[in-house]
Chain A
């Protein structure tokens, strides 16, 4: 189960791990739960014998022992609603606290209810922040949470943060406050530097995992700290060290020594500054690795026959199941990975501009591949190869080499159709392209009935079916209709209200919906808000949806985590009206600097349910209605 957890947290770009699955980490069986603070019946230690407890008390104690085994978040939420006794028992036994929106609840409230938390998952900024739609300084800071948790949860072991602003001071405080701290996972966070990393490395004596995934860690070149050297000497407990996007080079000798004294290390993902001639040295000291991020996978070193060494390193890595990196791929070294291909369940080539020709000898060996991330440089031809070999494929992501609207785009409907024909086990797909047809999307809807996540990004805005010239309505309609398990959908291309009618009609399990440059008017939004009962996260940009559409969701917004609407047709008065009608929703209007203060048009709307009302840390460009 540990593998599962790390798979999800590593390949997490835009993927919310909680889709359909609530557990982020498996609980330790037998528990490392701290001893109970409340005296149970018959406990030694009191001179006077306490009066026999009410049967309620006994029941609650028993209940706690049972509820310990409940791990799923939704199960726990359900249990807590049964009655007050169950509520209390559940609160005492919840070990993992998941907070999907850091502004939905205050740290104080969370801590007050859940007293024994060992791991925290906290998410901050809306996802569109990844695409520069949220100005810097918007919020989602770790500091207030940390300040509250440090005294309240001294036995906290795990923290996982996504899109949170983390400072070096935060990391230092974290490192010093939690003495059994084990796992730190930072995903798409920013605000910290190698100073903070050094604090964590140096002070967390039981550190098991340090996973830095897709963060912006860019130090001023003059001020880089050698954080790898900050790990204490002697054997470490390290199981996972992921720093593939930490911008600055690390002290290689220190890293080598660290790996050599970390016998439990299973996951190592290094950054682009590690070239192949250094990579093999790391690998030979850690033949037990299951997950490897290969860094540059090239070398500027001319001398030395390290190619053989690299080959033999892969030959000895019998446990490797996940490969990534290849940040500056020299194709002539690709053959060294052949020995591990059969065992690979996960392969990430999405930073290597690899052609179908180059990919062929690799992919044809990867019979067990379940997760494949790649650049569109492989073309439709490459996708055919994937479809032919990877029958167990569950997740495919095809990213564009050239992420601009008028790029050529090397994959099309042909590749998508091929994948659908070959990979019937597909659960999740993210596909960037320039040319698509309804037919291919319909084919996928019929061939891949297990789809949970369908995200198609036709990069040119408003592009219709390339063969028929029609809108892409029928394709997306087929997806929601035929893929009965679908929980996440992202649409693109030319779309009319009809597409949204389909989504509202058939998308009964859809939780996350992303819409851009689509729809004819308010009706589209209404279809979705009225038709999708499970909708939690709705993010919309550049669509002709106005106040009427916004207001049509009034009965639904309390069931949702958030709504994002930018560059639509909303007005301030409309949003104010909504805010008035829904007191438990925080309605934020984010103003672009270029906008006229007096204008009634709303550039960006971000609204979310909250137990604590408007936040007090909003920057000046955020107006809370």
Chain B
């Protein structure tokens, strides 16, 4: 598995963003479908915006590169391909990481939780990874894709409440996450809020027509 990943990661350097996106489905069951749908959405913008996911999503490519270097040491464990291998390593507390970086950290609020978290948007190569991270952070939401459009929702399986990720942009407007190309989002996002979807009805996605 690691050898395969290593090979693909070098290929993806050449071929561009598509391979990287599909490669990054690190073991999530059924995630290929999700990654695929994101791919379709991204293509819609690729003419207007140059999405260098390989370059900017530094961390993700790094994780791939790290995988490839593992093949050297045969004593290396065949690591289970789940998120735990990248979460929390190296073991530096998030408040310390927060303290060192500045601009790309945004606060994340969840309707119903009284306190906030911070995420570093630069850590993620795209919306899928961001959603995965949010999912990890706020107990066990699962990600549900709306069948009709690009929206993604987080669902709390305990009570079935759906949350829609929204963000406040530089103009102070609240938008649905996923509307704009990733880099544009990173540049303009001031803070995130996981809003109960019942309350998010008036946030019309800008690009609702793109299917």
Contact = CB atoms under 8 A, between A and B. Distances in A.
B135 A219 contact: no
A603 B81 CA distance: 12
Given A168-B114, A193-B114, A133 B88 contact: yes
Contact of A405 (B62, B96, B97): B62
Contact of B82 (A14, A403, A461, A603): A603
Interface string B162-201: 0000000000000000000000000000000000000000
B117 interface: yes
A329 to B, nearest CB: 12
Nearest to B92: A403
Interface in A233-257: 245
Interface in A573-621: 591-594, 596, 601, 603-604, 619-621
A219 B83 contact: no
A566 interface: yes
A401 B88 contact: no
A216 B117 contact: yes
Contacts of B45: none
A405 B83 CA distance: 15
B91 interface: yes
A13 interface: yes
A95 B142 CA distance: 47
Interface string A5-43: 000000001100000000000000000000000000000
A520 B29 contact: no
Interface in A454-474: 457, 459-462, 464, 471
A432 interface: yes
B210 interface: no
A13 B99 CA distance: 14
B95 A406 contact: no
Nearest to A136: B139
Contact of A128 (B65, B88, B117): B88
Contacts of A621: 139-140
B84 A405 contact: no
A192 interface: yes
A543 B97 contact: no
Nearest to B109: A220
Contacts of A567: 79-80, 82, 84-85
Given A13-B93, A542-B77, A593 B137 contact: no
Given A133-B88, A457-B90, A619-B139, A592 B83 contact: yes
Interface string B63-101: 101100110010111011011110111111111110110
B56 to A, nearest CB: 14
A566 B84 contact: yes
Nearest to B66: A405
A75 interface: no
A43 B133 CA distance: 66
Interface in B22-76: 27-29, 58-59, 62-63, 65-66, 69-70, 73, 75-76
Interface string A166-197: 01100000000000000000001011110000
B66 A219 contact: no
Given A216-B95, A405-B90, A191 B82 contact: no
Contacts of B137: 132, 135-136
Contacts of B92: 131, 399-400, 403, 432
A216 B115 contact: yes
A333 interface: no
A405 B63 contact: yes
A481 interface: no
B91 A516 contact: yes
A350 interface: yes
Nearest to B94: A132
Contacts of B29: 594, 596
A404 interface: yes
A230 interface: no
A461 B70 contact: yes
Contacts of B82: 567, 592, 594, 603
A133 B94 CA distance: 12
A103 to B, nearest CB: 18
B141 interface: yes
B77 A543 contact: yes
Contacts of B107: 218
Contact of B90 (A136, A459, A593): A459
B158 interface: yes
Given A400-B92, A542-B77, A132 B99 contact: no
Contacts of B141: 593
A611 B59 CA distance: 44
Nearest to A223: B114
A494 B115 contact: no
B85 A594 contact: no
B204 interface: no
A471 B75 contact: yes
A620 B142 CA distance: 14
A541 B73 contact: no
Contacts of A133: 84, 87-88
Contacts of B79: 517, 542, 567
A594 B84 contact: no
Which of the listed residues A137, A188, A353, A461 has the most CB atoms from chain B within 10 Å of its own CB? A461
A403 B90 contact: yes
A520 B78 CA distance: 11
Contact of B85 (A130, A136, A460, A542): A542
Contacts of B115: 190-193, 216-219
B158 A620 contact: yes
A135 B136 contact: yes
Contacts of A544: 77
6 tightest A-B contacts by CB? A131-B88, A593-B140, A567-B84, A218-B116, A403-B92, A406-B62
16 contacts: A14-B93, A130-B93, A132-B88, A168-B114, A193-B114, A216-B95, A218-B116, A245-B99, A351-B99, A375-B100, A400-B90, A517-B89, A541-B89, A542-B84, A592-B84, A603-B84
Given A375-B100, A459-B89, 17 more contacts: A14-B93, A133-B87, A133-B88, A137-B139, A214-B93, A216-B117, A218-B117, A220-B109, A353-B100, A399-B96, A403-B96, A462-B70, A494-B75, A516-B89, A517-B77, A542-B77, A603-B84
Interface of B: 27-29, 58-59, 62-63, 65-66, 69-70, 73, 75-77, 79-80, 82-85, 87-97, 99-100, 107, 109, 114-118, 135-142, 157-158
Interface of A: 13-14, 128, 130-133, 135-137, 167-168, 188, 190-193, 214, 216-220, 245, 272, 327, 350-351, 353, 375, 399-401, 403-406, 432, 457, 459-462, 464, 471, 494, 496, 516-517, 520, 541-544, 566-567, 591-594, 596, 601, 603-604, 619-621
